[in-house]
Structure formats: structure tokens, C-alpha cells
A and B are shown apart, each in its own frame.
Chain A
Amino acid sequence: MNERIEEILYKVEKPSRYIGGEINSYEKEINENTIRYGFAFPDIYEVGMSHLGMHIIYNLLNELDNVYCERIFAPWVDMENVLRKEDISLFTIETHSPINELDIIGFTLQYELSYSNILNILNLGKIPLRSSERDETHPIIIAGGPCAYNPEPLADIVDFFVLGESEEVLIEVLDAYRKIKEKGLNKKRLLEEVCKIEGVYVPSLYEVQYNEDGTIKSFIPKKEDYPIKIKKRIIKDLNNVFYPEKVIVPFADIVHNRAMIEIFRGCTRGCRFCQAGMIYRPVRERKSEKALELADKLLRNTGYEEISISSLSTSDYSQLNELVRGLIDKYLNKKIGVSVPSLRLDSFSLKLIEEIQKVRKTGLTFAPEAGTQRLRDAINKGVEEKDLIDAVTNAFGLGWNTVKLYFMLGLPTETYADIDGIADLGKKVVDIYYNIPREKRSKGLKVTISTSSFVPKPFTPFQWEPQDRINTLVEKQNYLKSKLKHKNITYNYHDSKTSFLEAVFARGDRKLGDVLIRAFEKGCKFDGWQEQFLYDKWMESFEECKINPNFYANRQRGYDEILPWDHIDVGVSKKYLMKENEKAKNEELTKDCRLGCKGCGINNGFIGGVC
């Protein structure tokens, strides 16, 4: 290990975050033909290593000859202080190289509140923040992941974005990079070349003009041959796509410390607040046979004591029974835990969960999202009160005593009657428990009600809707708090200031780049970490850049407005989103599209899923 790096590891907490050398991590020879790629997760090791996408890309790229993918994470605050004090560049986990020695650094954008960490990482790596300040001597900075569907707030920072599932497109990008590098790397030529690859968006090749009111007047390619619309990429067949079989086993106790098998992508439920439900369409399943085979290889290669399946709405998986049966039969006697998250809690699921959890009954989680049927219909959450009541009755009867309920505050059309509904549901759950004969229930009921604040997201039917103002959200939280004073009920809520910032960046445009840089200069980082979040510094930054954050978070947009992400094509049409938004106002449900096509548009040119 590099001596200077070794010295600083004595000075930080949890040094195992930084040492590398984990089982299944790659050690590769670096020569002049090697493209050095850095997969950067703009949060700490424990968070980044829990992310399945990172493992997929890491293993995919490292199986290629002449490409070496190393990992980069945001150093925790103590490490950052040491790096700055001793003037040491942020380094990769694999070889402890300064990150500016890499050819390409790819950031994954999982949540808006990690943007300031991107700037911090670049700065700690002595890399200029703006794309325009970097040339061939600096790494090419790219980004992908769900937040890349509205890339505009990072348009000044990132050289180009990769939209959609990147297993194929990333390899095309690396091929293009290699070709250009052989002729002598020229950043401008590279950008012009990669913009021809489907799924690649190069923001500097486009000109944005604004109206006097701050909305977008026009968004035009600077040359005719640049694509007008940039279409996301998808993998057509999950049974044949690359899947990492030898995933890194971290030393540190990370957030999701277990083997993961992805069983499908996409979701057909169509909840109107949910971005994942729209941007990951169409649904594509991996056969259970294939999933079981992967599980076996993963467990053999990692030695993990737990396996989890990963997807959006797990209960929708067509071979769920076969798969979970298979996992239980094979692994429970080997003392390998099986976890099946995101289940709809019908009686079938409860039986499954009971079998998996055997004696120890951990908490059950329900997400009705809204307190009344009216609002649940408006957001198209296809759950009825009866579903919750039945599930909870069953669960208490089977010996559960801990229940978590998730809701959102500030959903479009919400009134105080809907908030009363949340409190009523909580109390009903308590009543159900006490109505079960004492000898049939487990002692010590604990009901936890959590509310998050609704953040309108691009490419959802609510993309035009305003977010509630911070003080409105606080009033609603306080109101609910006063209604939930009960010995068995705990009420948790998210800080509405962070939700506000999230809303600004979720639907932001290019003008936010300056604010982001200003906030970084004022020390903003780890905005998603409550104790690190500096709300006042952010507000100062908006003010100094003469940007009104309410314009982004709290403004009602019209259907005719050009939205900052309109040049991105996720497959779901704007027309469909408008129709869904209108249906929300009329509290009309849209059924699961497995039961019949709803014309969202994904089957026009994105063939491969259920459609």
C-alpha cells in the first residue's frame, strides 16, 4: 500500500472503507493500452457498496481486456479533513491512485442530494468543476442513473450523460473513447463522436434560451446533426444480459450486506407520484431458473449469509412462488437467510414471510402512501383500506407486533381530511391488535408511522405540480403529530427543508449549476445526511446567484411549458403523463397495465418488455 495513504488511515474512523483488497475486487495490470475508468458513487463507501448497479458496472468493465474499473466514494468528513490538511488527492479504492490519473470518471446519480458530493469529489481530486474548464489532460466526467433523466442542473459540470441501462452503451462509449485516443485524444472530437451513440447526451452541444419569466424559450442543438431527442437505452432480455457472479464482499458493515439477485426491471402499477415506476419501463423479468442459478453462484463466490431479491414491486413477479420456494428449500438449512423486500402483504406473502423469518418476527412494513381512499385513488396507489386491515389482522394473528406504515405529506389535491385519514388508519391498526384475544397476540405493540414530504419528479404525471411550501409541510407534520399521541404509536417525519432542496434539483434547469458550485464553495456536502445539511448556506447561494428556488419547487407549470428535461425520451409519452395528471384530479384509477395496455408509449420503439 502507498505509504502516505497508509499513514493517513491511522487518523480516520473506520479505515476499512478506504483500504480496498476486498474479496472479488480486481487487481489488474495497468499499461498504455489500459483505459482507466473510475466508478464514482457520490456518498460514503457503506452506501455506495450497497448499490447493485455499481457491482454490475464494476464487474462488467473489469471483465474487458484493457479496461480497469476502480471505485471512488465520497470520503467521510474526517477523511476529507485529513486529505485537505495534508494535501493528498482523493484516491481510488483499488490502487489508491489520485483520481485525476483516470481517463474517465462515471458518477452514478441516485439522489439529487448527492450532487454537492460530486463537486466535492472532483475538487478533492484536483479536477476543475466545470466541463468548460477541463481539457484532454483531465479525466472525462460522465454520469448516469435515475437522476440523469433530468441532467440539466449538472449540465455545466458533467461532460456527457448516459441515459438508461448502461450495460451496452458504456461499452460503446469506451470503444469510441479508445478510437479517439489512438488518434490523439481531443475532448471536443470525443464529445462530437459519442453524441451519435444512442443514449448519450452531451449538454454542451445544445443551446438553451429563456423567456423573461425564467421558463425555457427554446432548447436547440448547436449543429444539425446532433440528435434533437435523446432516447434512453434499455436491455431487451434480462436472461442474456451480463450479471456479476463474483461481486465484491466488503470488509465494512455496509447498508445492504448481502447477496442480491435482480429479478426484474420496471413496474406496471403506474403510481402517479413514482418516478421509478415510469422511467424503468417496460417490465422485463429474469426467469426464476436463471435467478436461482445466479443465487447459487453468488453465494458460492461470496460466502454471504443472506440473499435478497431485488426489484420494484416484488409481488408482481410472475414466478415469485417458484423462486422463493427454491431459495428457501436450498438455503435455509445451510443457515443462509432469505429476504424478500417490497412484497404486497396479502395472505400468500405473509405465509412466505413467516416461513422465512421462522421464530424471529421482524417488523412488517406497509406503504398506503395516503390516508384516505380518495387520495389513494388520486395518486393511483391501487390499495384499499381493506387490504391493510386484512393484512394487519392476519399479521397480528400470526404473532407480529411491530408494524411500520409509510405515508407522504403534500401530495397533489391533499386536504387536512387526508391527514386525519393517516391518524385514523394508525388508530385502526392499534384497535385491531387489541381486538385479538390476548393469548393469540404477541406482547408489546409498536406502530411506527412515517411521513416523507412529496417531491414532484420529472417523467411522472405530477411533474407539473407544485411542492407544498416548507411551512405548509411543517404545519401538516405538526398537525399529524398532535393527532398521533398514543402510547403504541411513534411518529417520524422527514425534514421538509431537505425535501425542498430535493424538489428544486429534481426539476431544475441549467441555471442551477452556478448555485451548486456556490453552495459547494460554502461547504455544502452530504446534504442527505441530516447533521451535515446546511440549509442556510444553500439559501445564501440561491440569493447570491439571484435564483429563486421556489420557482423550481413550488410553481405550478402549464402543459405548454418547455420543461428542462423535454429533450430526453424515456419512452413514456408526455401525452400519457398529462392524461394521468388529469385523471388524478378526477380521482380516477388507471389499472395495472399488465391487465391491458394504457398507451403510455413505451412500446413504441422500446420493445422487449411485457408490452
Chain B
Amino acid sequence: MDIKVFIVASLVKTALALVVLLTAVAYSVWLERKVVGHMQNRWGPTRVGPFGLLQPAADGVKFLFKEDLTPPHVYKPLYVAAPIIAVIFALTSIALIPVGNDVPIFGYKIPLQISDVNIGLLAVLGVTSLGVYGIALSGWASNSKYSLLGGLRASAQMISYEIALGLSLVGVMILSGSFSLREIVQAQSGSYLGFIPRWNIFPQLIGFFIYLMAAYAETNRIPFDLPEAETELVAGYHTEYSAMKFAMFFMAEYANMITVACLATLLFFGGWSGPIFGPTILQALLPVLWFCAKVFVFIFIYIWVRGTLPRFRYDQLMAFGWKFLLPLAIANLVITALLVALRA
């Protein structure tokens, strides 16, 4: 591909991915308020626009125009840097996520992915593992006991669950023999017995369970939202933040949720694979549609879990991660490796 075409295509894809991701972030918040509302016998947002659909826009404007308070007792450089760090790393990982096959545009084959690196999965893990600095530093720089406790909990929790998360993915890597997200999806094409798709979820059911649990903990969501437990820590690590700085933590959290949902789709549910039919334009767009539908299901499960489960106690959280998930992940890894080695 010509270098100019490559640069233009990359710029367009980056802009498009950013717009789509931020819109998705805004509307996952809307979806969450709506779904949790209905689960609790309430309506959720209804006033702004039909079904409250313009609520995210109203919230965005409100965040922009709110007074941006900086408490006098904070350590200013890191206090300002923390939300920026959180949101940068949350948005970066989307650059590595493929959403479909190559699409022919103006005679060029454009891959539906900003950057196709051959260690894609590791790169995503690396970027998300840096995101914890945003939360940890916000807790420390706020110089307030609630924030500090929230930041400490977040970093301890994320380090603990990152091990189980990484180990649960090794099974998928062994089955596909690659770190490239594109190749992992291609390894899942075809079907068992002619009608069951060859998705990794079937041989890696335990791995998927571990991934889901660890991912909920990594994104600080209920039932693992100890870092912002409002009943004991006010709002945890972002207690001292207001206006757009607070909104940036919010954006980072939901962007991380979407990344986790994208990874689950790619690694365990065959990515963009699905029935393809119709004219050429439909054949190019259907994979993207399947991908988005699967991601949507994961976001919905996230919200469903939030509407269902209470919060863990802190010792339960640590015991669950270290004494249950980690041994289970190691056992799953050993069994998968043995079976693959025996079949080879």
C-alpha cells in the first residue's frame, strides 16, 4: 500500500474510532441508567429527548460548564495528570482492536483496524496495565483519606486480578498459536459438526469464566467496585474531582468496559464471524454488525450484573482472586497445554 494512502487511511480510521468509541461510552452510560432503572422498577432518564436519548449530550454540556474546583490541599501536578493518564490509556487500546475483515475502498484493501501488530493481545494488556496509574495517582495526589484508600484498593485489586486475567488468556493463545488478534479470530472460523461455530468459548469455558470475573475486577465494576465504594469511601479515588476531570475518570471506566467487551468478543466468541449474505456492500458491513452485536451483549451483561449483585467485602475480594481464580486459571492452563500437546 502507498504510504500516503496508509497515512490518510490511518488518520480517518483513528478519527472514526475515536468518535464511535466516545459515542459508545456516552450511550453505555445512558443504557446503564435506563436498564438499571427498569430493573429497580424506575424509569431512568426520560426528560431529555425521546426515551431520554439526549441525556448524554446534556450531561456532557453540564460537565463542561461546571466549576472546575481544585481543592487547596492537593499535589497539583499529579492531581491534574491523573485523569489525563486514565483516559489516554483507556482510549489507546481501541487502536489495536480489529472490528472486521479488509474492506475494499477506492481499489485499496483497508483493514478495519488502526494498527495490526503481531503481538496485539500483549499490547492491549500492556496498555490497560498502565491505566492503573491514573487511578492510583489520583488517590494519592488528592491528599484525602477517602481518595487514598480508594487508590490503594484499586492498585492492590488490579495487580491481584491481572495475574488471573493474563493466565486465563494463555489458554486461548495456546489454541490459536498466535498473539495477533486478527489471527486469533481467523483460528476460530469454521464449525463443529457443521452447525456449532468453532469459537474458543467451547474448549475454554473455564478460561472465559476466569476472564469475565477478572475483567470485572480490572474495570472496578460491581461486584468488585471496592475502590469507589460509596457507602464507605464517599466516591473513592475520585472524591476530590469535579467537572470535566471527574468526567474523564468516568469516560476511562466505560472505555475500559468496552475494551474488555471487545477482547471477550475477539478471543472467545469468534470476533466478527457470523452469517454473511446479500450484495457486496452488505457483505462488507455485516461482520462489523456481528462484532458490534456481540460487544453490545457483553455491555448488557455488565449492566445486568450491576443491577443484580451486591458488593464483595474486601477480604472476600482478595480471597476470591488469589485462592480461587488464580489456582483455577493455572489448572485450566496446564490442562489445555497437556491436551494440545497430546493432540499434536
A and B form one complex: no
